[in-house]
Amino acid sequence: MEKLHDLQEIFQARIDADEKIEPKDWMPDAYRKTLIRQIAQHAHSEIVGMLPEGNWISRAPSLRRKVALLAKVQDEAGHGLYLYSAAETLGVDRETLIDELHTGKAKYSSIFNYPTLSWADIGAIGWLVDGAAIMNQVMLTRTSYGPYARAMVRICKEESFHQRQGYEILLTLCRGSEAQKAMAQDALNRWWWPSLMMFGPSDKDSQHTEQSMRWRIKRKTNDEIRQQFVDATVPQAEFLGITIPDPDLQWNESRGHYDFGPINWDEFWQVVNGNGPCNRERIRARVKAHEEGAWVREAALAYAEKRKARNAAATKVA
Ligand code: 3HC
């Protein structure tokens, strides 16, 4: 018992000294467990997040928009792979994680359970969803677990392109016809509140935040990052000339932040618990893609086995 206590003390001292924890280091089981949970859900979010946008690749209004959207969706797949690899350094295997997604055991970000009804939604997703993801992910570049922090550095570089291309789509629409500007406003109306929900429940209702802050997995709380996102995004909406759908939104000089209205936490938990507009459709699409892609995995594994056998034979001869 004494030894475990010492190990936990040394671990916490390393965290408090802002040292990075690496895969081979001793870590509390609960630290490992919550990291697997969060990193796997982050990876699932990247992969499921490809679906709402993929839905518009064939309908992009120009070749330039199509190329940018193709590049973004492809980036998201890569982000998912980095994150599954980061999770695997904690001793889980990818197939298990993917099975947990397909069977509903693992979560992914609520935001991807909303439908993309118009081209303006692709702009709103880039601007708001990737904008919110960047806020969170820049913070995670300083997370205490080494592989996760390093994956975030690479992902954040690509996310800024994602946010820019989304914002430019909306800027183009807002400077277009009345109908195009109305399309942009409609998208903001539908994506604003679900984007605020991406940061998780409020701190008082968050099950993990306190411990995650102690272990420096999180460097800011859910509410702190949400506030940072609101403060950064309101002026961008003003520049676009569209209105954020929150009558309580207003600058609070004494706080130095925007005050904003109450979030619909019933809607949040409904969506998180599988009853959002697109939850079933998203998982069905993921399961179908995984099943149809089985032959690619089998061929890749067979080729790797063959190569391994050939190299072993060559080494024997040499
Ligand atoms: N959607 C779904 N589930 C959510 C959620 C959301 N928006 N917010 C919170 N939850 C879940 C948590 O997973 C947890 O459930 P669990 O115990 O079963 O895992 C529960 O609600 C309680 O929430 P907590 O705030 O206590 O949980 P966390 O401390 O894990 O904080 C988080 C939630 C802020 C989302 C954190 O997990 C996190 O920072 N994750 C990494 C970032 C991430 O996953 N972002 C998702 C979007 S990725 C993306 O947008 C890709 C971009 O390229 C488009």
275 pLDDT band, cuts 50/70/90, is very high
Which of 109, 212, 229, 270 has the most ligand 1 atoms within 8 A of CB, as the residue to mutate? 109
Which of 107, 113, 223 has the most ligand 1 atoms within 8 A of CB, as the residue to mutate? 107
317 pLDDT band, cuts 50/70/90, is confident
pLDDT per residue over 194-247, tens digit each? 999 999 999 999 999 999 999 999 999 999 999 999 999 999 999 999 999 999
Q: Check if 133 has its Cβ closer than 6 Å to any atom of ligand 1.
A: yes
Q: Does pLDDT of 4 surpass 90?
A: no
Q: Check if 48 has its Cβ closer than 6 Å to any atom of ligand 1.
A: no
Work out which ligand 1 atom sits closest to the CA atom of 125: 54
Task: Supply the residue whose CA is at minimum distance from atom 45 of ligand 1.
Answer: 42
pLDDT per residue over 113-123, tens digit each? 999 999 999 99
Report the run of H or E that residue 251 belongs to, with start and end: strand 250-252
pLDDT at position 35 is: 98
pLDDT at position 216 is: 98
